[in-house]
Homo-oligomer: A and B are copies of this chain.
Amino acid sequence: MDLSLTKDQQSFREEVRAFLAASLTPELRRGAELTSGVFAEPDIAREWQAILEEQGWLVYHWPDHAGGPGWTPIQRWIFEKECAEAGAPVLPGMGLKLVGPVLYTFGTQAQQDYYLPRLRSAEHFWAQGFSEPGAGSDLASLRTRAVREGDHYIVSGHKIWTTQAQYANRLFALVRTDAEVKPQKGISFLLIDMAQPGVTVKPILSASGDHELNEVFLDEVRVPVSDRVGDEGQGWSIAKFLLENERGGSSFAPAILADLARLHTSAGPLTGELADRALRLRLEAEALEMTELRTLIEIEHGAAPDPRSLTTKLLASEIRQGLEALAVDAFGLAGLQLPGERPFYGGDMPAPVVSPAAQVAAARYLNARAWSIFGGTSEIQLTLIAKAALGL
């Protein structure tokens, strides 16, 4: 048993630190700190993505045959932790984390050759079209339909909760290609060009006033059959791959621990109940970090993920929500500011009371409520844990 890094891992960490010190500009750092949503806004994200791509580390979690740097799970974790501690922007995951792995795993050579470079260069900005109104987390009841006409599908339907769709020019979507078979069998996975007639994006404002979510209406949208990933009817299993990949993909604790440390700086020393809440959150977050690390170490040594890996999204949601609530309280009345302007690091923002960190606190608190809802509610997580870990 050993928690220390090898010499190689240590020098890798130094390399990452040096890179971040040199490349992560104060503007990027500030943009990241004052981001109220899940992902960096496009101006920040685009710049950081280009820097990472230049360094060869953008697709650090892709295998080398797909163009990744060939890092081990521990190296990826070191990189993520260093990025979190340095306060790097969080890049949108729809392309890099979701459709990217789908493409290099299930895509044809032609699809890979066309889409992967454009994903990396940010020429394509991807959105995820899975959820539909009324279906909640229940993908089997999908109603968007794709009818084959020659070498095209004609797609009509209504997607919802589509993160950053207002910036996207590509949508990957689950659609029903066969209504006759068992619900899960009739689903296919399509890549849809959003710059065409019939695609309408309608914003859903969050309670915070942030515009992160959208509805996407598809009205007889034409999709070449060559933009179907996998076979017809294979959509369900591709989606499963994608969701498991999303879940197992990254660690939550490093960002939480880094944000908690930053709060102590931005809000000053916490006392009384606030100090107690901060301490308890840190205990939970340190435990979570090790819970995540245990799984990574096991994977590094070739084991299959333990059911314990199912607990991290649930725990991270709760710790994150506790952290953002603490931030609001730590800033007192100033934590209750909520300007209507966006982004918080932008030039249109009114002068903050106390500090920009105070100004963004309420928006972050409100947006953090979504952690326990999207990507499988906390209730669904508990049911999954009971089943997988305890056989209930």
Give chain B nearest CB distance to A173 CB in angstroms. Answer: 36
Query: Does chain B have a CB within 8 A of A276?
Result: yes
User: Would you give the 0/1 interface string for A270-310, flagging 1 where the beta carbon is closer than 8 Å to chain B?
Assistant: 00010010000000000000000000000000000000000
Interface residues of A in 226-274 (CB under 8 A from B): 273
Bound together, the chains give a CA A273 to CA B276 distance in angstroms of 9
Across-interface contacts of A276 in B (CB, < 8 A): 273, 276
A272, closest chain B residue (CB): B276
Bound together, the chains give a CA A276 to CA B273 distance in angstroms of 9
What is the count of identical protomers in the complex?
A: 2
User: Would you give the 0/1 interface string for A148-183, flagging 1 where the beta carbon is closer than 8 Å to chain B?
Assistant: 000000000000000000000000000000000000
Bound together, the chains give a CA A215 to CA B63 distance in angstroms of 65
A276, closest chain B residue (CB): B273
The size of the chain A interface, using a CB distance under 8 A, is 2
A273, closest chain B residue (CB): B276
Bound together, the chains give a CA A273 to CA B280 distance in angstroms of 12
Across-interface contacts of A273 in B (CB, < 8 A): 276
Give chain B nearest CB distance to A253 CB in angstroms. Answer: 25
Bound together, the chains give a CA A177 to CA B273 distance in angstroms of 60
Give chain B nearest CB distance to A67 CB in angstroms. Answer: 53
User: Would you give the 0/1 interface string for A117-160, flagging 1 where the beta carbon is closer than 8 Å to chain B?
Assistant: 00000000000000000000000000000000000000000000
Bound together, the chains give a CA A273 to CA B273 distance in angstroms of 9
Give chain B nearest CB distance to A277 CB in angstroms. Answer: 11
Bound together, the chains give a CA A276 to CA B276 distance in angstroms of 11
Give chain B nearest CB distance to A326 CB in angstroms. Answer: 16
Give chain B nearest CB distance to A314 CB in angstroms. Answer: 21
Bound together, the chains give a CA A375 to CA B273 distance in angstroms of 36
Give chain B nearest CB distance to A98 CB in angstroms. Answer: 37
Bound together, the chains give a CA A276 to CA B274 distance in angstroms of 12
Bound together, the chains give a CA A273 to CA B279 distance in angstroms of 13
Bound together, the chains give a CA A276 to CA B275 distance in angstroms of 13
User: Would you give the 0/1 interface string for A9-27, flagging 1 where the beta carbon is closer than 8 Å to chain B?
Assistant: 0000000000000000000
Bound together, the chains give a CA A277 to CA B273 distance in angstroms of 11
Bound together, the chains give a CA A104 to CA B273 distance in angstroms of 54
Give chain B nearest CB distance to A76 CB in angstroms. Answer: 39
Bound together, the chains give a CA A93 to CA B273 distance in angstroms of 41
Give chain B nearest CB distance to A367 CB in angstroms. Answer: 29
Give chain B nearest CB distance to A386 CB in angstroms. Answer: 16
Bound together, the chains give a CA A35 to CA B273 distance in angstroms of 35
Bound together, the chains give a CA A273 to CA B272 distance in angstroms of 10
Give chain B nearest CB distance to A281 CB in angstroms. Answer: 16
Binding site for B on A (CB under 8 A): 273, 276
Would you mind naming 2 contact pairs between A and B with Cβ atoms under 8 Å apart? Answer: A273-B276, A276-B276
State the 2 A-B residue pairs at the shortest beta-carbon distance, nearest first.
A273-B276, A276-B276
